Chains A and B, each alone.
Chain A
Amino acid sequence: MYIDHFLHTPSIRFAWQYAKSQLRTKYRYTALGFLWNFLEPALYLVILSLVFSVVNRMNINDYAVFLFSALVPWRYFEKVVNTILESIVNGEWLIKKMYVSPFAFPLNRLIISSFEFLFSMISAFILFIFLKENWSIHLIVLPISIIPWAFLAAGIGLIGAVLYTFFRDVKPLVQLLLTLTFFTSPILFKPDIFETGTIQQQLMQLHPFTYLAALFQKPIYMASWPTANEWIISFGFGIAALILGIYLVNKYKSKFYYYL
C-alpha cells in the first residue's frame, strides 16, 4: 500500500506533464513570454540589493553577491513550502473525482518551483558576471547544495498540507514561522556581525538555516567548500522532514476526501 501510493506511475507522469503545461502556459499571453522567467527574479534581486546596500551601508557589489547566494534558495524554499501546503486542497477538482496519488499535486508543485529556481539561479549568475570577482571551482557543488533545501521544503510542505487539509487556519501560522525563520537566519546579514561568545552568536549555531545557507554562501561568496558538519546537519534536517511529511500523508490520506 505504502509503495503503491508513493510510486504510482500515472500520478508521477501526471505531475510531470501537468507541470510542463503549466510552465508553458504561464507566460503564453505576454509579449516577452518565456523571458519573464529570468526577468522577474532578476528585477527582484536588483531592487532588493539596492535597498539593502543603502540601509546597511555596505559595498553594494559585495553585499549583493552575499545576499543573492542564499536568498535565491530561500525564495525557492518559501515557494515550495507555500505551494505544497495548498496543493492537496487546491487539487480538489481532481482528487474528488478521479484517483491520483496524494503525492501527485505536491510533486507537481515541487517540479514547477524547481524549474523557477533554476531560472532564478541563472538570472543571479548573469548578475554575478557584473558583481563578482572571485570565481572558483567550488561552484560545482551547487547542484548538490540545493538537495537538502528541496528535501526540507518538501517535507515541511507535506506536513503543512496535511494540517491545512484538516485545519484551514494553519496557513497564516506557517507564514509567520517562515518570516521568523528568514529574519533570524544569516541570509540578510552576515553571521560575523555577532562577536564570538555572545548569546546571539550561540543562537546562530542552533539555527538550521545557518548550515543550509552556508551550502550556497561558501561556494559563491567565500569561494570555499562547505564543511562536513554543514552537509551532515543540512541533509539530516532535510531527510528527517521529508520522512515525517511522507509518513503523515500516508497516515491521513484516507481521510482527505471527507475534508476537501
Chain B
Amino acid sequence: MKNTTVFKLQNISVEFEKHSLNQRSLREAIGSRLKGNRSEKTKALNNISLTIKKGDHIGIIGRNGAGKSTLLKVLTKVIFPTNGNIIRDETQHVIPLLELGIGFQADLSGRENCYLSGILMGYSKKEISDKMNDIIAFSELEEFIDEPVKNYSSGMYARLAFAIATDINPQVLIVDEVFGVGDEFFMRKCIIRMQKLMAKGVTTIFVAHNLDFLVTQCERLIWLEKGEVMMDGNPAELASAYRNSKSSLRLVNVQ
C-alpha cells in the first residue's frame, strides 16, 4: 500500500497576468486587443515536477512569494495550472486546510457550519452527524455549538474549523500555516492530533515557517524559491542549507 502515488506533478507552471485588473471590462479587452498589448506575466510556479506517495509527510518551505500556497492550491484543484500535467489518486480523500474555517457563514450556528463545511470537504451528512459529538468535544464548544459563529472568539472559531477537518476521515491533509491562530494550548492540541493522524498513515503536506517543527515532523522537505524547487530531500540537510542561504542573504544586506 505504502508506495502508491497520491500526486504526480509533471512540469507544472502557473502564470498570473500582472495587469489582469484592467482587463476585466469588455471595453479594455477590446482596446488592448486592438492595440496589440500583451500583458506581462509572472510565474508563480515554474516547471515543477514532484511525486507524493501515500503516507508521505512532507514539509514545504520557502520565503514569502516563493509559490508555496500556489502549489497547495494546485494540489487541491483550486488552480488549474497554465502548463503541465497532474495525476491524482481520486480514491484518496483530500482535506485542504489552507485557512481555518473556509466556507463558514457568520449567521449560521456552529452546528450548521459543521454540516456546510464538512459537505465541502466531501463528507456525507451522515458521516458528519456520526462524528458531531467528537467535533464538539475537541472544539470545547458544548454550550456554544448552536450559537451563530459570528459570536465566537477567534480561538473558538479555529478550534471548530480544525476539528471538522481532522475528526471525520481524512486521508490526505494539506495544511497551510494554520496553527498560529489559537493560543499555545490549542496549538499543542492540534500538533498532537496531527501526530496521531500521521502515525495512522495519513498523507500530510505542511507549509510552515517554523523550521524546527517541520524538521521534527516530516521525512522530506521541499524548498521552493521563486516558483522553482531549490532542494528536495532530507529535512536536516535541507534545513541547514536553507538557514545558510538566509544568513548569507543577511550578510549581503549588511554590506
Residues of A within 8 A of B (CB): 9-10, 13-14, 17-18, 21, 25, 28, 94-100, 166-170, 253-255, 257-259
Contact = CB atoms under 8 A, between A and B. Distances in A.
A99 B103 contact: no
Contacts of A94: 102-103, 120
Nearest to A25: B107
B23 to A, nearest CB: 8
Given A25-B107, A25-B108, A97-B102, A257 B116 contact: no
Contacts of A259: 20, 24
B169 to A, nearest CB: 14
A170 B108 CA distance: 33
From B103, B120, B125, name the one whose CB has the most chain A CB atoms within 10 angstroms: B120
A21 B80 contact: no
B120 A167 contact: no
Contacts of A254: 80
Given A96-B78, A98-B98, A254-B80, A28 B120 contact: no
A98 B136 CA distance: 23
B20 A258 contact: yes
A101 to B, nearest CB: 10
Interface residues of B, number: 31
B105 A258 contact: no
Contacts of A17: 115-116, 119, 125
B16 A258 contact: yes
Interface in B89-110: 96, 98-99, 102-103, 105, 107-108
Contact of B25 (A9, A100, A168, A253): A168
A94 B121 CA distance: 12
Contacts of B98: 97-98
Given A21-B116, A94-B102, A98-B96, A169 B78 contact: no
Given A10-B122, A258-B17, A169 B27 contact: yes
A14 B79 contact: no
Contacts of B107: 25, 28
B22 to A, nearest CB: 11
Contacts of B29: 166-167
A168 B108 CA distance: 30
Nearest to B80: A254
A257 B80 contact: yes
B124 interface: yes
9 contacts: A21-B108, A94-B102, A96-B78, A97-B102, A99-B76, A166-B24, A253-B80, A257-B79, A259-B24
A13 B119 contact: yes
Contacts of A28: 107
Nearest to A169: B25
A99 B17 CA distance: 22
B26 interface: yes
B77 interface: yes
Contacts of B147: none
A167 B105 contact: no
Nearest to B17: A258
Contact of A100 (B24, B120, B123): B120
B43 to A, nearest CB: 13
A167 B27 CA distance: 8
B232 interface: no
B119 A14 contact: yes
A32 B134 CA distance: 37
B24 A168 contact: yes
B80 A97 contact: no
A167 B33 CA distance: 14
B82 to A, nearest CB: 9
B112 interface: yes
A111 B241 CA distance: 55
Nearest to B77: A99
A153 B107 CA distance: 29
